[in-house]
């Protein structure tokens, strides 16, 4: 027996119409989101609306007013109250869906316990610097957990999907220009010196596009569709509205691949 109007009473009815989207797997999946800034806000929003139930969110920072042009889950009062980003996002995620459980971890990703990397099915990197990305890349790779890294800069964006042990990792794609950025930061910071780091331009359209791609790739992974994920990285140019999917190869001297083999 069916009942008129049943379709519209099921929160996931429209999602279930996508054949490969396995809602049981989506809801059972364990997602680790690193960063609760612009990308992190969008990623959590998309994950929750997509049906994710178990999310761990890590961020060390508090909300400031300049976050409000691109962070859908922050409010004026959050910046006035200098609230922790992770806690605010976790609270607002429950407004979107009371059944979701977002565990907020206020701290650096380097402080995450080792078990966290293997207890999740997928890691989403919503970070803002290369050093943190390398940390996430190494720990996720070592534990065999897929890592989806997102990055934006103005109207430019990128998403890389790393599925150990078959794909190249983030470190495989680095060159001297990346290390120069890291070196400059490290050489300019210390107990008595503060390195001036200019704020980057960031806006919601590119952020939402990049985070949406990250979440979609995560859904593919938890639904067992690793065959359909990005190989290996996509670069987005928001001015031209163009996407380029680029293949990478494993760097023979990359310590992660050497240690893995």
Partner 1 sequence: MTIKVKVRNAETGSTVDMEMENENTMSEIVQGAAGYWKKEAGAYVLRRGKKLLRGSQTVLEVGLKDDDEVELIPDPEGGYRAPPF
Residues at the site binding partner 1, with contacts judged by CB under 8 A: 37-39, 127-130, 150-158, 172-178, 180-181, 184, 197-202, 232-233, 235, 237-239, 244-249, 251, 253
Q: Could you tell me how far CA 15 lies from the centroid of its own chain?
A: 21
Q: Compute the least distance from the CB of residue 102 to partner 1, in Å.
A: 21
- DSSP 8-class letter at 84: B
With respect to partner 1, which residue has the nearer C-beta, 26 or 250? 250
- Minimum distance from residue 131 beta carbon to partner 1 (Å): 10
Beta-sheet strand order (sheet of 30-34): 101-106, 54-59, 30-34, 122-125, 147-153, 156-162, 233-237
Q: Nearer Cβ to partner 1, position 19 or 176?
A: 176
Please, which residue, 72 or 181, has the CB nearer to partner 1? 181
**Shortest Å, Cβ 18 to partner 1:** 28
Closer to partner 1 by Cβ: residue 94 or 249: 249
Query: Which CB, 7 or 153, lies closer to partner 1?
Result: 153
Toward partner 1, which CB reaches closer, 102 or 250?
250
Residues 6+ apart with CB under 8 A from 210: 39, 42, 150, 151, 152, 157, 158, 159, 236
Distance CA 127, CA 108 (A): 11
Smallest gap from Cβ 124 to partner 1, in A, equals 13
CB of 239 to partner 1, least distance (A): 4
Give the span between the Cα atoms of 131 and 179, in whole angstroms.
9
Q: How far apart are CA 261 and CA 257, in angstroms?
A: 6
Are the C-beta atoms of residues 172 and 249 closer than 8 Å to each other? yes
CA pair distance 198, 140, nearest whole angstrom:
29
> Minimum distance between the CB of residue 105 and partner 1, rounded to whole angstroms?
20
């Amino acid at each position: 027996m069916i009942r008129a109007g049943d379709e519209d009473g099921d929160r996931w009815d429209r999602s279930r119409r996508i054949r490969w989207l396995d809602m049981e797997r989506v809801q059972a999946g364990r997602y680790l989101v690193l960063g609760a800034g612009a990308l992190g806000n969008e990623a959590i929003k998309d994950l929750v609306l997509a049906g994710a139930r178990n999310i761990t969110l890590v961020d060390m920072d508090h909300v400031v007013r300049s976050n409000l042009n691109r962070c859908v889950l922050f409010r004026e009062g959050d910046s006035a109250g200098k609230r922790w980003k992770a806690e605010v996002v976790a609270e607002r995620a429950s407004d979107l869906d009371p059944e979701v459980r977002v565990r907020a971890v206020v701290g650096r990703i380097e402080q995450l316990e080792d078990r966290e990397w293997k207890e999740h099915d997928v890691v989403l990197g919503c970070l803002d610097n290369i050093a943190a990305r390398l940390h996430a890349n190494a720990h996720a790779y070592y534990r065999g957990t897929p890592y989806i890294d997102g990055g934006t800069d103005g109207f430019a964006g990128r998403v890389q999907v790393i599925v150990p042990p078959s794909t190249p990792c983030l470190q495989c794609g680095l060159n001297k220009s990346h290390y120069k950025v890291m070196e400059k930061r490290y050489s300019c910071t210390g107990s008595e010196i503060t390195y001036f780091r200019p704020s980057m331009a960031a806006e919601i359209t590119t952020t939402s596009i990049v985070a949406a791609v990250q979440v979609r790739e995560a859904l593919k992974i938890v639904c067992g569709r690793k065959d359909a994920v990005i190989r290996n990285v996509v670069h987005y140019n928001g001015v031209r509205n163009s996407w380029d999917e680029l293949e990478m190869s494993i760097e023979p001297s990359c310590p992660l691949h050497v240690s893995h083999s």
